[in-house]
Structure 1
Amino acid sequence: MSNLYFVYTVNMNESLKNAVIDSDAAKEDILMQNPDRPAPGHILNSQDILEVQYYGFDGALHRGQIVMHKDVARDVEVFFKTALAMGFPLSKVIPISDKKYAWDDVVSCNDNNSSGYNYRLIMGTDRMSKHASGLAFDINPVQNIYVRYDENMREIFRLPKEGVYDKDAAGTLTGDHPLVTLMKGLGWDWGGDWKPQSGRIDYQHFEKTI
């Protein structure tokens, strides 16, 4: 493993009463419609709100929430439980509907927020994202950047703009990382496997087709 990450002795029965609360919103607030792009009712009704625990970059135990399609919720729970057990740090996990993001993926990524469901288009296209159905989630965008390339495979855009992909940095996903291996084994695609020839690489991104 080339990846370095925090290592903790994790007691899975550890009390959460002193955890840092990153998100503890009510269902009606989390699944609030985006007034600029309201989702069909059947899309909203297919989402689950997962309560997740993780270690932050501050070394403290945190609690957050992520919204995912009901059919993949179990997989995502396994991801977060595994990340907790291995001490993989996450900056924060807050639904994109939170007022400080207001469904804006750029704002969320710049804040290094890990999130799932967001009824939106694929950036730079007129096609719906897997996030729009809750079948994708992003992890630590600052460490795991999204990059677009032109036809000559030159980088033309990155998100976050100041993000740097360093395989040895804590919180970074790589092709041989146990969390990537885990999710691929559960049938997920990892955006870090995409090539510049495809026009993009998305190290933060996992998606699944059901």
Structure 2
Amino acid sequence: MSTLQVAVSALHSIAVNKVDWQSRETGTSQWRTVETLRLDALGRASVRVSPWKETEYRAVVRKTRTVSTVASGSFSVSTLPAGEPVVHPRGVPEPRFGGLLDPSGRPRAVGSDAGPVVSRIPDAVWDRMVGVSFGEDCPVGRESLRYVQVNYWGFDGYRYRGEIVVHASIAKQVAEIFSDLYRLRYPIRQMRLVDDFGKNPLKGADDYAAMSADNTSGFNCRYVDGKESQGVLSPHAWGKAIDINTWENPFQARTGVFPHTAYLDRGRPHRAVFDGLESPAVHAFESHGLQWGGRWDEKDYHHFEVLPTTRSGGK
């Protein structure tokens, strides 16, 4: 916690009785009010804040006799991440982000641990899904799905709040898996609903865009990547599969490598790479009943799903 203080000049003190403390993450444009305080007799006010990353603060004074406001100059307060940032191999391509694909706007973690919450699909979340990841011809409906929120460690070492939709039958397992990953400090690039990446023209949300943005997601009523023309539904259409850190763990299909060949060499050092069957992160999934696509003939390193029997591939 940090204590910040502002003094309003004598020129304005006769007309000022309140000040809005505002903040914004450095590099963003929108200010938000942290707290509104009344000034003391000397025209001063202070507030205790918890900075997030590199945060800018300013004081905007409220005038009682005019409509206009006066803002103090902004100043920055930086916090070091609680976790260890990921070190990327030199010269290896990284995802290119833009607009909604950019992970910089991820919500801040809630609480001090993983804090998983499983709920029925809220109306606001359902509105995001309908017509994108969900369609009327999907094999499961709203009542069969659950919304899971959980904290995770980002690549930059900061803690974030992620969201994922999965089948109700595995929602508790998924909450436990991501709680295990949190305890392992396994890093996740971003974890947002696949609907944020737009609609696939054939069916469901655009999984190719989500993979290219290194997103972690679950339910998506779509066809198996590379088998769209055959109309084969993916396990994601039932909400019984999860793709995680897709850029570092590509899908090596017969039709190509998705989303990129950057980490097709599994020997590249990276903490997000699933480095074999003995990987603690892989064990976190498989110990809760989700099988790893890295075991298949068509290696799908970012894919985990509920399977009654083994198979050769197809995400």
Query: What TM-score does the superposition give when structure 2 sets the normalisation length?
Result: 0.53
Q: Percent identity?
A: 27
Q: How does 1:11-160 map to 2 (within 5 A)?
A: 14=112, 26-34=124-132, 37-40=135-138, 42-98=140-196, 100-102=197-199, 103-125=205-227, 126-149=231-254, 156-160=255-259
What number of residue pairs does the alignment pair up? Answer: 184
Give the corresponding residue for 1:164. 263
Q: Distance in 2 between matches of 1:140 and 1:171?
A: 7
Hey, which of these two has a bigger chunk of strand by percent?
2
Q: Distance in 2 between matches of 1:120 and 1:86?
A: 31
| Per-residue deviation, 1:49 | 0.6
Deviates more, 1:176-185 or 1:140-149: 176-185
Q: Distance in 1 between matches of 2:167 and 2:181?
A: 20
1:189 aligns with 2:291: yes
Q: Distance in 1 between matches of 2:148 and 2:134?
A: 25
RCO higher in structure (CA 8 A, sep ≥6): 1
Q: 1:48 to 1:88 in 2, by over 3 A?
A: same
Query: What TM-score does the superposition give when structure 1 sets the normalisation length?
Result: 0.78
What's the RMSD between the two structures over aligned residues? Answer: 2.7
Output the amino acid matched with 1:74.
Answer: K
Unaligned runs of 5+ in 1: 1-5, 17-24, 150-155
- Higher-Rg structure is 2
Give the corresponding residue for 2:306. 208
| Per-residue deviation, 1:110 | 0.2
Q: Distance in 2 between matches of 1:179 and 1:15?
A: 18
Superposed structure 1 runs of 4+ greater than 2 Å apart:
25-31, 33-45, 165-168
